[in-house]
């Protein structure tokens, strides 16, 4: 039962990653930002307000993009970065990392 939970499985089996095609945590590359918050909250992530930067975790992004950061404060201790196109407000990439020490950006 524990490993069948997709959030637990992600933390244990794919503890970090980056995609610019497809989806992860209920968010699809190409989604509009208005759908992102609800999708990530359903996966136990909380929005982490910060200044806009062009980097998050291990990737840098062009000036035409910005990054939103969400965190999972449960035992999984995860961070997810949503890179989006400023003009269209559409998701361009999803990056995540889980570990015993949550990444402080």
- Split at pLDDT 50, 70, 90, the class of 100 is low
- Asked, for residue 45, whether it belongs to a domain, the answer is yes
Q: How many domains are there within the chain? A: 1
Count CB-CB contacts under 10 A for residue 56: 25
- Asked, for residue 52, whether it belongs to a domain, the answer is yes
Count CB-CB contacts under 10 A for residue 67: 22
Per-residue pLDDT tens for 29-62?
Answer: 999 999 999 999 998 899 988 776 678 888 899 9
- Asked, for residue 35, whether it belongs to a domain, the answer is yes
Spatial CB neighbours of 88, under 8 Å, sequence gap ≥ 6: none
Specify the pLDDT at position 92.
97
Range of the domain at 49: 6-98
């Amino acid at each position: 039962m524990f490993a069948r939970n997709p959030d637990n499985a992600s933390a244990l089996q794919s503890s970090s990653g980056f995609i610019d095609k497809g989806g992860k945590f209920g968010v699809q590359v190409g989604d509009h930002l208005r759908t992102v918050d609800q999708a990530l909250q359903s996966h136990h992530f909380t929005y982490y307000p910060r200044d806009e930067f062009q980097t998050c975790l291990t990737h840098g992004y062009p000036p035409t993009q910005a990054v939103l950061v969400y965190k999972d404060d449960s035992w999984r201790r995860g961070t997810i970065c949503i890179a989006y196109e400023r003009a269209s407000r559409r998701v361009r990439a999803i990056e995540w990392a889980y570990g015993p020490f949550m990444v402080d950006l």
